[in-house]
């Protein structure tokens, strides 16, 4: 009988694999629920067929693992999308602030004679604007998809188009940060003093972009797993 | 109809004291006199959604069986949300009562039949 209960919980955990921390939590919670429901079933009037039949009734009443996982899937997708867009907005804001500070602190006379500095600044700015446009476009598509992705296959197409655009925006942002690094690193190496703040700003910028890259990749994997579950 | 009010029903079941998922389902069944016999698996996603919205919070304890048990508590935000749901429901129920109590269909449709007359 315990095997049947554990098999059900394993199947539920497997259906929830699109969000491993959620799967652990839900499996523990549902395990406790089924224990309580089984105890009530066995102590109540409906003990026909013994303990195994009682467990089967409890499981049927709770619902199929795929169905339960489906109800959690959209919630997980929504909260993950919210996290992703919050992180993207934070990364864009910090990248913009760091870019502006760099432009303000760069010696215009020195920069005017340095072809690499001029090219890096132009690339930094252009790539950042491209990232912003692509990111906002992706966010808008994903936001529209949230209204309709369950019943409408077009909603899923919009969601994946939004995620593809966010990956492109990430690529542009990486290019912008690479241009920053090319501009800042030689000056950090040459500078004798006042290195801490530029170095810290660059490190934060790179760390945020890497965190965003991981978040975008996880979101795409999760969305694909949820679509396999629901469609 | 019940689906649209699931969050309010779960909040109402938690208004008395903190409870775990199974106890919440039993409380709903008991207080509704067995009328609200919910598909049990639907309550957990609702609890998860309410927790994300800040209406409930939860903590792990250990059940007598040794399994981990998640116990939910209504937050002040959840209590305010429940009060709002109650007000909306009272207005809705009053309007339905008025509609159903009226014995004269003309009172609902206005004077005369609902088609053009000469």
Give the pLDDT score at A198.
74
* Residue in A95, B88, A133 with CA at minimum distance from that of residue A103: A95
A63 → closest Cβ in B21, B41, B49? B41
**Domain harbouring B84, CATH code:** 1.10.10.10
Residue of B nearest to A64 (CA): B41
| B8-61: pLDDT as tens digits | 999 999 998 999 999 999 999 999 998 887 788 989 999 999 999 999 999 999
Lowest mean pLDDT: which of A17-26, A40-49, A123-132? A40-49
Do both A18 and A45 map to the same domain?
Answer: yes
B21 → closest Cβ in A29, A68, A71? A29
Do both A21 and A92 map to the same domain?
Answer: no
Do both A53 and A84 map to the same domain?
Answer: no
Residue A47 lies in a domain: yes
- Judging contacts by C-beta atoms under 8 Å, the chain B residues touching residue A55 are none
Do both A17 and A78 map to the same domain?
Answer: no
Q: Which domain holds residue B12?
A: 3-95
| A112-124: pLDDT as tens digits | 567 777 888 888 8
Burial string for B31-55 (b: 16+ CB within 10 Å, else e) reads eeeeebebebbbbbbbbbbbbeeeb
Do both A178 and A99 map to the same domain?
Answer: yes
Do both A86 and A50 map to the same domain?
Answer: no
d(CA B75, CA B80): 9
Do both A146 and A48 map to the same domain?
Answer: no
Do both A175 and A95 map to the same domain?
Answer: yes
Residue A85 lies in a domain: yes
| A9-33: pLDDT as tens digits | 999 999 998 899 999 999 999 999 9
Residue A204 lies in a domain: yes
Assign A172 to helix, strand or coil: helix
Residue A223 lies in a domain: yes
Q: Say how many domains are in chain B.
A: 1
Contact between A47 and A39 under an 8 Å Cβ cutoff? The reply is no
Do both A39 and A140 map to the same domain?
Answer: no
- Quick check: A32 and B20 CB within 8 A? yes
**Domain harbouring A82, CATH code:** 1.20.120
Do both A177 and A97 map to the same domain?
Answer: yes
Give the pLDDT score at B117.
56
Residue A68 lies in a domain: no
> Count of A–B CB contacts within 8 Å?
62
Q: Say how many domains are in chain A.
A: 2
| A172-230: pLDDT as tens digits | 999 988 888 887 777 777 765 666 777 788 888 889 999 999 999 988 888 888 888 87
* Three-state SS annotation for chain B: CCHHHHHHHHHHHHCCCCEEHHHHHHHHHHHCCCCCCCCHHHHHHHHHHHHHCCCEEEEEEECCCCCEEEEEEECHHHHHHHHHHHHHHHHHHHHHHHHHHCCCHHHHHCCCCCCCCC
DSSP A183-214: HHHHHHHH-SS--HHHHHHHHHHHHHHHHHHH
Do both A115 and A224 map to the same domain?
Answer: yes
Residue B117 lies in a domain: no
- Quick check: A68 and B67 CB within 8 A? no
- Judging contacts by C-beta atoms under 8 Å, the chain A residues touching residue B49 are 75
B69 → closest Cβ in A32, A62, A75? A32
Q: Does the interface ipTM go beyond 0.85?
A: no
Q: What is the pTM of this model?
A: 0.73
Do both A59 and A82 map to the same domain?
Answer: no
B50 CA to centre of own chain: 12
- Quick check: B20 and A63 CB within 8 A? no
Residue of A nearest to B68 (CA): A28
Residue B101 lies in a domain: no
Residue A131 lies in a domain: yes
Q: Which domain holds residue A51?
A: 2-63
Assign B19 to helix, strand or coil: strand
- Quick check: A68 and B40 CB within 8 A? no
- Judging contacts by C-beta atoms under 8 Å, the chain B residues touching residue A71 are 41-42, 45
d(CA A145, CA A166): 14
């Amino acid at each position: 009988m315990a095997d049947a209960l554990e098999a059900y919980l394993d199947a539920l955990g497997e259906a929830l694999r699109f969000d491993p921390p959620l799967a652990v939590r839900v499996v523990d919670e549902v395990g406790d629920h089924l224990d309580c429901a089984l105890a009530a079933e066995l102590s109540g009037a409906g003990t026909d067929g013994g303990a195994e039949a009682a467990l089967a009734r409890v499981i049927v009443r709770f619902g199929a693992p795929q169905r339960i996982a489906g109800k959690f899937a959209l919630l997980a997708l929504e909260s993950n999308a919210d996290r992703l867009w919050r992180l993207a907005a934070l990364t864009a804001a910090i990248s913009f602030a760091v870019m502006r500070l760099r432009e303000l602190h760069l010696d215009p006379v020195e920069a005017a004679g340095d072809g690499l500095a001029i090219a890096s600044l132009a690339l930094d700015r252009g790539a950042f604007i491209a990232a912003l446009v692509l990111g906002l476009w992706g966010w808008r598509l994903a936001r529209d998809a949230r209204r309709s992705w369950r019943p409408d296959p077009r909603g899923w197409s919009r969601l994946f188009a939004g995620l593809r655009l966010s990956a492109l925006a990430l690529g542009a942002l990486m290019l912008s940060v690479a241009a920053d690094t090319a501009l800042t690193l030689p000056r950090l190496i040459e500078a004798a003093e006042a290195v801490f703040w530029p170095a810290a700003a660059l490190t934060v910028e790179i760390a945020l972009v890497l965190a965003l890259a991981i978040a975008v990749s996880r979101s795409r994997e999760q969305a694909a797993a949820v679509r396999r579950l629901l469609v | 109809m019940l689906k649209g009010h699931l969050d309010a029903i779960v909040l109402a079941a938690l208004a008395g004291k903190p409870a775990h998922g199974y106890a919440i389902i039993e409380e709903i069944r008991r207080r509704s006199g067995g009328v609200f016999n919910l598909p049990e698996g639907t309550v957990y996603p609702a609890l998860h959604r309410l927790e994300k919205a800040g209406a409930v919070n939860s903590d792990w304890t250990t059940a007598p069986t040794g399994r981990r048990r998640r116990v939910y508590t209504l937050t002040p935000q959840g209590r305010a949300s429940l009060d709002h749901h109650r007000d909306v429901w009272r207005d809705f129920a009053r309007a339905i009562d008025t509609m159903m109590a009226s014995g004269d269909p003309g009172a609902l449709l206005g004077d005369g039949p609902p088609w053009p007359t000469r």
